[in-house]
Every structure is written in structure tokens, then in C-alpha cells.
Structure 1
Amino acid sequence: MPNSTTVRQPAAPTGADTAFVREHTSPAPVPSVPEVRLHMAEDAIALWETTESARGEIGLPPPFWAFAWAGGVAVARYVLDHPETVAGKSVLDLAAGSGLVGIAAALRGAASVRAAEIDAYAVAAIEVNAVANGVRVDAAVEDLLDGDGAPAQVVLAGDVFYERAMAARFLPFLERARARGARVIVGDPGRKYLPRERFTALAAHEVPVVADLEDTALKTTTVWELL
């Protein structure tokens, strides 16, 4: 799952951010994507509260970087099963969260992988997770949604249509990326704001999810390509 809809001033992760990620997560294989190991948290709500305390802010979005969200899991599974999707290509992992999708692309031979997030904790987690998987992912705290993702040849996004305001920003970005020739693939576990008529389904998976955050333990998640 991606960052929040609020556009914040980018701030690079610090050593303290990296230490926070390591302190509150443990490396483990990702369910449904055992080829990848991520630093993940055991208790979503407890980490959410700890993050707010560490930041001194109330009402922060969930710690998307500490869990393998259904949309990202489905896209990562698709990329691992279809390496031709990314092999030899420049890839953008948009709203990257833990970096799962970008790491999968790197494992399948992407020429380069760029991961974009607006949360410094997420970028720190991506860097930690890339090292844990022996791959390179160039992660940065940046909001790209006013552009078109150039020069990436493939744009991958897991679960970016879960809020109306989020969808209103992401869809035009993805359409601009597609218009300039990039292949655009997203993962979606049945969110309300995905305009399905603009996409074609590539695959579907039953994906384990964090029940505390999703109110269920399993979601049918579809991999879509923008037409």
C-alpha cells in the first residue's frame, strides 16, 4: 500500500529512521512471495502508535512500509512469475511502501529500479530490505505525481486506489506514463476507486493480509494493466 494523500516536504531518511525500522521489524519471507524477505512488524496497531509517538504527530497514516500489502504482493508475484515484464528495463516502483515490488523487479533482472515514497521511514525500510535481498533499489523521498514517471519503461504500483483523493492523483499520473509509452501495472484487492474499465486483468491471487488493517485475513487481489 502506498503513501498518504498529503503531500509533504520531502526529507531524506536519517540514521535514526533506519535504526527505528530495524528496531521495530524482523526479517522474514513474504507470504505468497517467499523469494523475497522483508523487515516486517508483528503488530500493526502497536507500531502505528509507536510511529506517531516517535514523530510527535497524531493521525499519521498506517506504517505501510512495515507490511506486505495485498496489491504489492500480487504485483511482486506477477513480476517474479513473468520476468520478461521487467528484465533489462528501467522500472519505477511507485508509492513503494516496503519496496517489495521494486525488489522483485530487481531480482528478475531489471536494468534499474527506482522506488518513490513520501515517508522517510519507508525509504529507510526500502534500503534495508534491498540489502537483505542482495539487490539495488534507488529509493528516495519524493512526490512524482505531477509528472509522468520518465524515464521508467515500466511503472509498477501496488494498491493506490484505496481513497478517492489518492485515486484522483494517481490515475492521471499513470495515464501520462502510459501515454509516453511506459507499461503500467497495478495491483488492487478490490478497492472502490479503481476505474476497472480503463484496465485489463493480467492475473489474480488469493493474498494473506494484515487482518488488523484490512478486517479480513485473505483478499482476492488482481494484477491490472492500464490500457
Structure 2
Amino acid sequence: MTPERLDAQLQKTLSRGRVAESRPAGCPQLALYLFDPSVLEGPLSHDEAQAVVAEPAYWSFCWASGQVLARWILENPQSVSGRTVLDFGAGSGIVAIAAAKAGAREVIACDIDLAALDAVAANAELNGVRVTLCEDWSKRPDDLDVITAADVLYDPENRPLLAQFRSSAPRVLLADSRVRNLNDDRYALQTVIEARTWPDLNEFEEFNQVRIYLAGESS
């Protein structure tokens, strides 16, 4: 997978779009192909802005929760080492890549956006790890040990995922900056860490506070 293919994906909605290799400030251990903000010299045209809003390339940014969870996994490799891990809503792939770097037996990146899976493949290759791609959560393996997910609860309709994760693996690692209270006591708060989306989107400060939760076995 080449960065040029990712450029082509971006250019479907932003003709000036391209990716560049960078290291997110919240997890500088990993390199990723992400949106290159230098292309935005001057304002977007009306048509460009409409296209970007209609089909945002979420995978081309590394969101705060993904950075924090990836770094936490790298610093706590025992959380995934030797286990089969599925990263739900993989986006750029940073969490899946961190799990692979931390010694997971197999890592599966799951995302319904095929462009995101292209990004995962390119970023995994960039970091010298292997990640299996999955475009359908309903087709996940039955023998998962750990599920990871970062910032997937932004839509209230996604709340049932909390129970689905718990029923699909004995351990769940969840990072979220959007929801202050999960209202699910099976998820134990581990820590709160500040981070910013990379490249920085100047989001509200409240979205820079990332909470990491653990459900299930702790060792």
C-alpha cells in the first residue's frame, strides 16, 4: 500500500489533499501517513468545503483518544501481549499498530470505511507490523481476547457497543474524549490524559481530555 493511494482517496473530496508522514505528539513512538495541512494555504472554496463535510476523511487525522490509547498500550504491553486483538473503528490504525508493536499474537483492524483500511495497511507497513483488515464487525472472529476502541461513542446510538464489546471478548480497552460518564460500571476508569488531534483541529478543550477504561480481566 502506497501513500499515493491515500492521496487519491483524499482527492475524491479535496482536490488539493495529500498525506505526509508524521509522528502524532500524543504517541510519537509511531509514524503515520496523515493529512498534510500545508495544502490548505488559503481558504477552502465553497465546493471543497461542502465535499469535505459530506464525506470527511476521518482516517487522515489521528484523534486524541487514539493517540492516548496507543501510547498506553505501548507502555503497558502486558495488556495485549500474546493475545488476539480487534481494534474497532480503526481509523488511521494507530491503536492496532500499537497492539502489534506491543506483542499481540494477531491484530485485526475493523472499520466500515474502506479508505480507512487502506490507511491502516499503509501505516502498518510504515511501522513494520502486520495487521489483518476487517470491514464488517459482524464477521469478527469468535476467539477474540481483547477489543480496543477509541472515540466510537460520539453518537448516542453507538452506546449498545459497550455491551457488545463485553460479550465479544474477555477484555475491553476503551478510550473516549466525548462522553463524561459511560453509565456502565463494568468499565473501570484507568486514567485521564490530555492530548490533541493530529494535525490539530483546534477542538474544544473538553475534547482533549481522554479517559481510558478497562472492562474485564485486568492482567
| TM-score calculated relative to the size of structure 2 | 0.79
1:107–1:135 Cα contact (<8 Å) kept = yes
Q: Is residue 2:114 matched to residue 1:120? A: yes
**1:195-221, CA deviations, whole angstroms, 9 ceiling, x for partnerless residues?**
353310112211122553733497111
* 1:10 corresponding residue in structure 2: none
1:163–1:193 Cα contact (<8 Å) kept = no
Cα drift, residue 84 of structure 1:
0.4
2:136 to 143, 150, 154: 143
Question: How many corresponding residue pairs?
Answer: 203
* 1:166 corresponding residue in structure 2: 158
Q: Is residue 2:204 matched to residue 1:215? A: yes
Report 1:1-227 matches (<5 A). 17-20=5-8, 24-43=18-37, 53=51, 59-60=54-55, 62-140=56-134, 142-144=135-137, 146=138, 150-168=142-160, 170-178=161-169, 182-191=170-179, 194-209=182-197, 211-212=200-201, 214-216=203-205, 219-227=208-216
Query: Which structure: larger Rg?
Result: 2
1:21–1:124 Cα contact (<8 Å) kept = no
Change in Cα spacing, 1:132 to 1:197, as seen in structure 2 (3 Å) is same
Identity of matched residues, %:
28
SS of match in other structure, 2:189: strand
2:177–2:207 Cα contact (<8 Å) kept = no
Change in Cα spacing, 1:50 to 1:95, as seen in structure 2 (3 Å) is farther
Cα drift, residue 171 of structure 1:
2.1
| TM-score calculated relative to the size of structure 1 | 0.77
Structure 1: which 5+ runs fail to align?
1-12
SS of match in other structure, 2:124: helix
One-letter amino acid of the counterpart of residue 183, structure 1: R
1:199–1:224 Cα contact (<8 Å) kept = yes
Counterpart-to-counterpart distance in 2, 1:68 and 1:193: 23
1:29–1:36 Cα contact (<8 Å) kept = yes
Taking only aligned residues, the RMSD between alpha carbons, in angstroms, comes to 3.1
Structure 2: which 5+ runs fail to align?
11-16
